A and B are shown apart, each in its own frame.
Chain A
Amino acid sequence: MISLIIFYIISALVLIGSAGVIFSRNIVYASFSLLLALLGTAGIFVLLLAEFLAIVQILIYGGAVVTVILFALMLTKIDDFRSLSNINYWPISAFLTLLALIVLIIGIYQTKIDTQNLGLVKFSKFSNDLFEYWGIPFEIASLVLLVALIGAIVILKDRGNDS
């Protein structure tokens, strides 16, 4: 019961954060709302007994991603508040999004899924599997990261003034 109350509180935080991202007039506020939503997600992970992923979530999203986004904000000119959202599009967007939400929720209620009580993943077992069974995909993911790193550098390199 307590866990349900905690879940509602954290969900509320996550949803408030998400709403802040899409409704706030100030882009810096929007990014802090994003941070709130991401940390809330980490809380959900903890509730679901995935503490390793919660830590990863806080470190990568809360630490790296939001920081990088703030850097991007600092490096670009922050636009006029009014032009942050496109007023012409919002009615149709809202309508379609609501429709999608309704469809999703109907789908969720329609689908019968066999559930059980909260299951635990042992951390040692998880790490063993990750590096044995999923070893090659893991290495490939690291390769993708490397490629992205190089790609980002290449994209940002100022070719015009180099020579």
Chain B
Amino acid sequence: MIDLIHIQILSAIMFCIGVYGVMTRRSAILILMCIELMLNAVNINFIGFAAFRDFSESQRIFGHVIVVFIITIAAVELALAIAIILRLYKNKSSVNIDEVDLMKW
């Protein structure tokens, strides 16, 4: 049978893949995708806990509800990030974040 531990390990691996991607990818759009991966890993974890822990029903529902909110926030974040990327592309003709270092000293 599937157990909580399977879900947790899947989520951990997926999260680490996302982290690695954020650290190595150059294109802003790819970094965005990696962030979506990380958020999904977290979602899997939440649903796993809601499904397997000895919770009452309303506590389970809490796990589901928070996933709904995370999806909402992910959508928000995506919308703003895409907007920023397009603005960046307009100004710099590139979405390579190595070339964007305006926030240095």
Contacts and interface: CB of A to CB of B under 8 A. Distances in A.
Given A1-B1, A30-B30, A145-B72, A152 B79 contact: yes
A50 B45 CA distance: 13
A79 B90 CA distance: 15
A15 B3 CA distance: 18
B27 A89 contact: no
A143 to B, nearest CB: 11
A22 B72 contact: no
Contacts of B18: 18
Interface residues of A, number: 84
Interface in A124-162: 125-126, 129-130, 133-134, 137, 141, 144-145, 148-149, 151-153, 155-156, 158
Sorting the interface of chain B by its residue count into under 10, 10 to 19, 20 to 34 or 35 or more gives 35 or more
A1 to B, nearest CB: 7
Of A14, A22, A53, chain B has the most CB atoms within 10 Å of the CB of A22
B76 A126 contact: no
A137 to B, nearest CB: 7
B62 to A, nearest CB: 8
Contact of A148 (B14, B50, B80): B80
Given A72-B86, A79-B26, A105-B9, A94 B20 contact: yes
Nearest to B97: A86
Say what secondary structure dominates the interface of chain B: helix
Interface in B1-59: 1-10, 12-21, 23-27, 29-30, 32-34, 36-37, 40, 43-44, 47-48, 50-55, 57-58
Interface in A1-20: 1, 3-4, 7, 11, 14-15, 18-19
B33 A93 contact: no
Contacts of A53: 43, 47, 64, 67-68
A114 B27 CA distance: 42
A64 B74 CA distance: 11
13 contacts: A18-B17, A41-B43, A48-B51, A57-B43, A69-B82, A72-B82, A76-B85, A76-B89, A100-B19, A118-B51, A121-B60, A153-B83, A155-B83
Given A34-B37, A129-B61, A141-B73, 7 more contacts: A18-B18, A21-B37, A44-B44, A56-B68, A97-B20, A119-B60, A145-B76
